[in-house]
A = this chain, B = another copy of it.
C-alpha cells in the first residue's frame, strides 16, 4: 500500500513544476497542444468510464494505469489557453479569457477530482471507482458547458 500511495502522489504531482507561461512558437501550436492533450486524456478517461458503466469488464490494473495518465496529464492543457489563442481551430468560448478566475477554479477542481480518481482506481474497488468517475465527469461537464462551444 505504501508503494501505491507513493505512486499516486507521484502521479498527482509529477507535472506541477511546469512554468505557467509555456513557450509556444505560434498561437496555432498552443491551440493544437491543448486540444491534443485533452484528446489523449479523454481517451484514457473514456476507458475508465467504460468500466464504471459496465460496458467492459472491470480491470483494476488497467483502470489504475489509465487514471494515472489522466491525473498526470490534467496539468498540461491550460498552458495552451494563453492570450491570443482565442481564435482559430478551437471550440473554446470567449468566456475562457473573460472569466479567468472561474476557468482557473474549474481546472483546479478537475485536477483534484482526477487525483481522487487515481486513488480510487488503485483501491481495486469498483464502487469507489464509479463514485470517483462520476465526480470527475461532473467537473469535465461543468466546464465544457460554460467554456466550450456546443
Chain A residues within CB distance 8 Å of chain B: 6-7, 10-11, 14-19, 22-24, 29, 32-33, 35-37, 39-40, 43, 47, 50, 56, 59, 61-62, 64-66, 68-69, 72-73, 76
User: Given A24-B43, A50-B23, A76-B40 in contact, is the A66-B18 Cβ separation under 8 Å?
Assistant: yes
When the two chains form their complex, are residues A23 and B47 in contact, meaning their CB atoms are under 8 A apart? Answer: yes
Q: Could you tell me the distance in whole angstroms from the C-beta of A14 to the nearest C-beta in chain B?
A: 6
CA gap between A11 and B17 in the complex, in Å: 13
- Apart from A7-B14, A11-B14, A15-B68, list 4 A-B contacts with CB within 8 A: A14-B68, A16-B65, A18-B66, A19-B65
- A3: shortest Cβ distance to chain B, in Å? 10
Q: How far is the CA of A20 from the CA of B17 in the complex (A)?
A: 30
B residues in contact with A33, CB < 8 Å: 39-40, 43
